[in-house]
Amino acid sequence: MFANTFRKPQRPYSRSFKITRVIVLALAVITFVGAGLIGYAYKAIDVPRPEDLSTSQVSTIYYNDGTTEMARLGQENRTIVPLSAVPDHVQKAVLSAENRSFYTDPGFSPSGILRAVWLNLTTSETPGGSTITQQYVKNAYLSDAKTLSRKFKELIMSVKLEQEYTKDQILGYYLNTIYFGRGAYGIEAASEVYFGKPVQQLTVSEGAVLASSIRSPAGYDPQNHPEAAKARWDYVMSGLKEKGWITSAQAKEAAYPQVLPIGPGKLNQLNGPEGVIVNRVKNELAALGYDEDKVYSEGLKVTTTISPAYQSQAVAAVQQQLEGQPQNLIPALVSVDPTSGAIVAYYGNSQGTGFDYAGRGYRQPGSSFKPFVLATALENGYADSTLRDGSSPQYFPDRTQPVRNSGGSGCSSCSLKTAITHSYNTTFYGLTYDLGGAKVAAMAHLLGIAPKRIDTGTPTLQETDGTVASGIGIGQYEVTVKDMASAFATFADDGVYNAPYMVQKITNAAGKVLYEHKNAGKQVISPDVANDVTYALDDVASYSHDSLAKGRPSATKTGTVQLGDENNKDAWMVGYTPKQLSTAVWIGTDASDPILTSAGKIIYGAGIPGKIWQQYMDAALDGKPVEKLPNKAVIKATKGSSGGSSSSGNSGNSGNSGGSTPSTEPSSPPAGSTTPTTPPTTPPTTPTTPPTTPPTTPPPASSSSSPSTPPASPPTKPPGQLVPGLLGPGG
């Protein structure tokens, strides 16, 4: 009993021992679970193949030779090079700056990771001390988020990378990804930006400059912080000497090199007309399924259709012909290979980031639209030799004001070939009235005028209610320069329409072809119609004093759009040589102001636009075979009367009947430049209904030919109104 009175005393440490045992057990569990999690993470975290790093490269746009660079697109300026292309002394300079034990360490620094975690969590300081492997992993695969999970992932990926790739491979990947400042990613881009030469040509001192910038590209830029840059360079050079990578003599002789000033990289400049081209290329790429994310990250190589020679010649023609002319004049030029639709030269704006007047600028084409009327007529029983009334002025049931020719010129009965050479408005307005404007619109769409506007998506070549006025025959409705070049190209390729395009081929960074354009031409008019349109246009260039050099024949049409009673606002020259080039040129202004030369002279289609067209075509076709134009028309008329002489090759009076003679065209402005004025504010609702808003009365004109009978009471003019197609000084 006594014995039971006393219990065995407990050891004083038994309670703490239990606590310790629980802690140890918990730590064991945590360690076990942690090890399991690490093991799972090691297997789960995938290291993307460094070969896939090309997904962060810029895309390069080339001219049609596939080698001449036009531009580089991307958020980063990067060019991948193999490690063998980087001189050993440049490699060692990078190691001296960033990781001198690179070839002996395990690829990560545990103490560095702990220090980085602490600094990231407690300060805004960006720690150094990471190995090259860690830096590569962070820059190539991870975000810059300051989180424990990112550092953990960095550690796992660094370990796996070291196990799966050699040190040389990792160094090569690193040198192609690290940022060196000035927009340059990778050692090759940095070499070009800082020294203007490839990395293979860098000296020890130059390599040390690039290596110095890695830690803080902005802080160690030689231009902005020369003292800090020099101090960092000294550190790198000292490391090279200490590691035995250069001799003491080399270190002593080394001097800080001359570095290029900061400026936009020349390969990233999108200034000048080429910038507009690049924007069009980007739009085509998007339509092909290559949106900006892909273009700006996947290192695509895009070969365009633009010829470096033709583009240079187009720019030269525009600049030289506009030299000394008023600054408000705006040019646009598009040149197309008729056999493929490839756009070989493109001038949409002198500023690369400006509005694309060639592809997005809609302007009335004036008389340059008349070949589409002729093509429509040829498909509907008419022929080049068909005789039509070309007298001026003439009245038509669908308008209250007469249509006039330039200066009252005209003929009572002349062939369609003669009428298009002299650009008689009355002939082609009347022909369109008889054919129906809708047929002419349909023909123009077949030939290459886009059915919808690119800016609004609304239908082209018609009124808002869907009707088509007869004014279409003399260029009432707006079109683009690109579409005019494309539509005339259809004539140049025997009636085969090839859609215009700029992207010829796309390859990825590995050289695999992702896309290549395939010609898909479509016969939209018969070869006979194309033949006869070309035949009808063969005299226009000489008549407008814009013939090509060395007697090279061409099929052309001028156009001018009148502004008010005394000025013009748009002037065109469109023409081609068969199977070679189709080129359209436009001159106008932003605000549809009067277009005048520096001497105050009115500009017509045969003037500055014609001279640009002539200079460009002469240069582009120099040395090319001379393609002959048809020497006769082949389509026979089944309606109307025929003069039977349009196939003789003569224009002028050859198509006249009854001994009448066309009025003499004025020597200034040159013939071939007549076009319409701006459409009325309230368009006609049907082709046979007069305009709701009465148009202006044109300036008086005389004609030796008798006009059609006018209405009993000729309408009067309300001030300030314009009528499409009413006037035009010579086509």
What token pair was written down for 438? 């809708």
> C-alpha distances in angstroms, 560 versus 585, 606, 607, 729?
12, 9, 10, 7
> C-alpha distances in angstroms, 327 versus 319, 350, 354, 359?
12, 12, 15, 21
Residue 267 per-residue DSSP state:
G
Q: Is the peptide bond before 331 cis (omega within 30 degrees of 0)?
A: no
CA atoms within 13 A on the CB side of 694: 11
| 215 φ, ψ (degrees, to nearest 5) | -60, -40
Amino acid at 438: A
Cα separation, 569 vs 565, in Å, equals: 11
Cα separation, 594 vs 565, in Å, equals: 11
CA atoms within 13 A on the CB side of 620: 29
Q: Strand runs (DSSP E) across 292-416, as ranges?
A: 301-304, 330-336, 343-347, 387-388, 414-415
| Backbone torsion region of residue 420, taken as left when φ is above 0, otherwise alpha when ψ lies between -120 and 50, otherwise beta | alpha
Query: CA-based angle 646:649:651, to the nearest 5?
Result: 65
Question: Which residue among 96, 98, 298, 486 is the active-site one?
Answer: 98
Length of the chain: 731
Cα separation, 344 vs 348, in Å, equals: 13
Given a contact cutoff of 8 angstroms between Cβ atoms, the answer to whether 568 and 604 are in contact is yes
What token pair was written down for 62? 């080339």
How many CB atoms are located within 10 Å of the residue 352 CB? 18
Angle, helices 204-213 vs 88-98, to 10°: value is 30
Bridge partners of residue 184, in order along the sequence: 77, 181
* Residue 367 falls in the annotated catalytic set: yes
What token pair was written down for 484? 């005019």
Instruction: Name the strand (E) or helix (H) holding 513.
Output: strand 513-516
Given a contact cutoff of 8 angstroms between Cβ atoms, the answer to whether 463 and 471 are in contact is no
Question: Which residue among 367, 391, 412, 651 is the active-site one?
Answer: 367
Question: Which residues are part of the catalytic machinery?
Answer: 98, 367
